[in-house]
Amino acid sequence: QVQLQESGPGLLKPSETLSLTCTVSGYFISSGYYWGWIRQSPGKGLEWIGFMYHSGSTYYNPSLKSRVSTSVDTSKNQFSLTLSSVTAADTAVYYCARVLDYYDSSGYGFDYWGLGTLVTVSS
Amino acid sequence: DIQMTQSPSSLSASVGDRVTITCRASQTISSYLNWYQQMPGKAPKLLIYAASSLQSGVPSRFSGSGSGTDFTLTISGLQPEDFATYYCQQSYSFPLTFGGGTKVDFK
């Protein structure tokens, strides 16, 4: 079955860059599907960050777009998230997930999720 | 952005109860609506997509309905493992947005 696992630093200082990697097992990223990131904080609930296709097509939340970038490494079956200039407001549990698309790829949900990783931004 | 409003924010129920959770969109989203269940400390789990399609492996006591702006998640015969928080999510337009959640706990 498909499994995802996030990895990366759990503590950052303000203005630093957050970098997370999601390792996928049970499915080859290069075979298809979009792969995405969602975060959850007590103050803002669940927030969609963005998702990407292995070929490079991306969709980002406009509220984060200026600070977000993503990449895919098909040789390692991993995809990554980078969020620059973090502040305390970026403190959250970050999830990676596979995107289920429906209605001829105009509808999107998240059918497989990682366990999540807590990222804290504090000086 | 499309705002998703869930009601109630919490409810108390007993095993065997029929539970209904409502999600309202700030504008029409056709049937681009998904439902998730989240247990404490766990990732959300997809239950329903496209408003009424049951995700593979999800028990049939879960059902979804609605279109346009008003949607409902129904649990027919609440089981002990169903006590959790439920979220709706729209994908009609970017950015994808989630509701604030409905916590179902023991009466």
Structure-token pair, residue A20: 């997370």
To the nearest whole angstrom, how far is the Cα of B34 from the nearest Cα of chain A?
Answer: 6
Q: What is the mean pLDDT of chain A?
A: 95
Across the A/B interface, how many CB contacts are shorter than 8 Å?
64
Task: Work out whether strand A11-12 and strand A117-121 pair parallel, antiparallel, or are unpaired.
Answer: parallel
Confidence of residue A94 (pLDDT cuts 50, 70, 90): very high
> Could you say which DSSP state residue B55 is in?
P
Instruction: Measure the CA–CA gap between A11 and B102, rounded to whole angstroms.
Output: 30
Task: Give the mean pLDDT of A102-106.
Answer: 84
Give the pLDDT confidence score for residue B96 in this predicted structure: 98
pLDDT score, position A46? 98
Q: What is d(CA A68, CA A49) in angstroms, rounded to the nearest whole number?
A: 8
- Confirm or reject contact between A102 and chain B (CB < 8 A): yes
Mean pLDDT of chain B: 97
Please report which confidence band the pLDDT of residue A43 belongs to, taking 50, 70 and 90 as the band edges: confident
- State how far residue B93 is from chain A, nearest Cα, in angstroms: 9
Would an 8 Å CB–CB cutoff place B87 in contact with chain A? yes
pLDDT, tens only, B20-63: 999 999 999 999 999 999 999 999 999 999 999 999 999 999 99
Condensed to tens digits (0 to 9), the pLDDT of residues B88-99 reads: 999 999 999 999
The answer to whether B22 and A93 are in contact (CB under 8 A) is no
pLDDT at A71: 95
Put simply, the answer to whether A115 touches B43 (Cβ < 8 Å) is yes
Using 50, 70 and 90 to split pLDDT, how confident is the model at A105? Answer: confident
pLDDT at A122: 97
At A55, the pLDDT band (50, 70, 90 cuts) reads confident
Alpha-carbon separation of residue B79 from A40, B15, B17, B44, B87 (angstroms)? 26, 5, 8, 18, 18
* pLDDT of A54 strictly over 90: no
pLDDT tens digits, A59-86: 999 999 999 999 999 999 999 999 999 9
Cis status of the peptide bond prior to A9, with omega within 30 of 0 = no
d(CA A46, CA B1): 14
Q: How many residues does chain B have?
A: 107
pLDDT score at B45: 98
Q: Which residues of A touch B45 (CB under 8 A)?
A: 113
Residues of B in contact with A106 (CB under 8 A): 32, 91
| pLDDT tens per residue across span B65-75 | 999 999 999 99
